[in-house]
């Protein structure tokens, strides 16, 4: 049982790390396209969209790297879960306002429907929750 | 306390990566554009199909236009719109242009296409259309 938990821990961390690293890379290469994707949501002023276009992918890749390290598990899982919740809120906001936009999740090339994006983010949140439960003992020691 | 320290470390790492990307990366966003405005450089990145609308007068259109462009001028909007809707591809990207500088026709036509016809994915070309032609 312990082995299974340990493997699940590793696999879930790898899934989250790979997903966030993959999402970050195209945005880091093309911050201009990501800026236009953020602006299409019509939530943030241009200057904030500009800052997000550079620093959100950086946060994604940093969290992706740190989640693989035990030492930084708590802070990285906190950031990843927060980002996923914010992404869902942004998508829901665009959806309810009737905007027909590209989510920009994996750069400008991604073109899934809103339902798929929300479903994917919810699945990733479930992974985060499982990871938190698996590492609960470690987390309580950590604080 | 350790959480705060780690959070500061993550912030620092994010800052370094973000700033380095800002300094090194040549693909800087153009903040001078509205959310539905595009430049010629951005055109190849648009998903296809792309339909081009020339918002100038019919006389100006006849004297030269972007290849395969459709003419919808403000003065003949109703007639030319119905001709355009006959060939309109529903999921296409529409790029509207007029003369560079003080011309507002492209903006007005783009607004009418969005508001009166409910067409989405309408963009206004901010560059000189002749650059596209060439």
pLDDT tens digit string along A97-140?
Answer: 877 777 888 876 566 788 999 999 999 999 999 999 998 866 66
pLDDT tens digit string along B59-95?
Answer: 889 998 888 899 999 888 888 998 999 998 888 889 9
Retrieve residue B49's tokens. Answer: 């199909």
Neighboring chain A residues of B28 at a CB cutoff of 8 Å: 31-32
Give the residue, A110 or A35, on which the prediction is more confident: A35
With bands split at pLDDT 50, 70 and 90, how would you rate the model's confidence at A21? very high
- The whole domain housing B56 covers 30-133
Test A54 with B2 for CB contact under 8 angstroms: no
Residue B45 in any domain: the answer is yes
Domain extents in chain A: 2-142
User: Does residue A55 register a pLDDT over 80?
Assistant: yes
Q: Is A44 on the interface with B (CB under 8 A)?
A: no
Number of structural domains, chain B?
1
Residue B6 in any domain: the answer is no
d(CA A9, CA A15): 10
Of A39, A49, A58, the CB nearest to B21: A58
User: Does residue B103 register a pLDDT over 70?
Assistant: yes
**∠ CA(A36), CA(A52), CA(A98), 5° rounding?**
50
How do B37-38 and B122-125 pair as beta strands?
parallel
Tell me, what's the ipTM?
A: 0.86
Residue B25 in any domain: the answer is no
Residue B13 in any domain: the answer is no
Retrieve residue B94's tokens. Answer: 């529409």
Q: State the pLDDT at residue A110.
A: 60
Best interface-test mutation with B: which of A24, A59, A69 has the largest number of B CBs within 10 A? A59
Q: State the pLDDT at residue A140.
A: 63
Test A28 with B3 for CB contact under 8 angstroms: no
How far B13 CA sits from the closest chain A CA (Å)? 7
How far A15 CA sits from the closest chain B CA (Å)? 20
Retrieve residue B66's tokens. Answer: 């972007």
- Cα A50 from chain centre: 19
Residue B5 in any domain: the answer is no
Looking up residue B93, the CATH number of its domain turns out to be 3.40.250.10
Mean pLDDT, to the nearest integer, of A86-92? 95
């Amino acid at each position: 049982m312990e082995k299974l938990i340990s493997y699940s821990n590793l696999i879930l961390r790898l899934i989250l790390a790979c997903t966030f690293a993959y999402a970050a890379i195209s945005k880091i290469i093309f911050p201009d396209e990501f800026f236009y994707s953020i602006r299409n949501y019509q939530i943030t002023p241009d200057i904030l969209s500009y800052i997000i276009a550079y620093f959100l992918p950086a946060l994604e890749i940093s969290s992706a790297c740190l989640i693989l390290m035990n030492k930084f598990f708590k802070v990285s899982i906190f950031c990843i879960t927060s980002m996923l919740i914010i992404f869902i809120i942004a998508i829901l906001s665009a959806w309810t306002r009737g905007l027909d936009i590209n989510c920009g999740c994996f750069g400008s090339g991604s073109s899934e429907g809103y339902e798929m994006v929300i479903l994917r983010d919810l699945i990733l949140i479930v992974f985060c929750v499982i990871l938190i439960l698996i590492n609960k003992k470690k987390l309580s020691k950590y604080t | 306390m350790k959480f705060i320290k780690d959070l500061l470390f993550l912030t620092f790492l994010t800052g370094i990566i973000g700033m380095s990307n800002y300094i090194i990366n040549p693909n800087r966003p153009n903040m001078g554009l509205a959310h539905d405005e595009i430049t010629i450089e951005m055109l190849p990145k648009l998903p296809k199909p792309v339909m081009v609308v020339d918002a100038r007068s019919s006389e100006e259109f006849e004297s030269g236009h972007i290849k395969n462009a459709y003419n919808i001028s403000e003065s003949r909007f109703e007639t030319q719109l119905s001709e355009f809707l006959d060939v309109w591809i529903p999921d296409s990207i529409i790029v509207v242009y007029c003369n560079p500088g003080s011309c507002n026709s492209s903006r007005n036509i783009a607004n009418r296409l969005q508001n009166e016809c409910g067409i989405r994915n309408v963009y206004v070309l901010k560059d000189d259309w002749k650059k596209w032609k060439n």
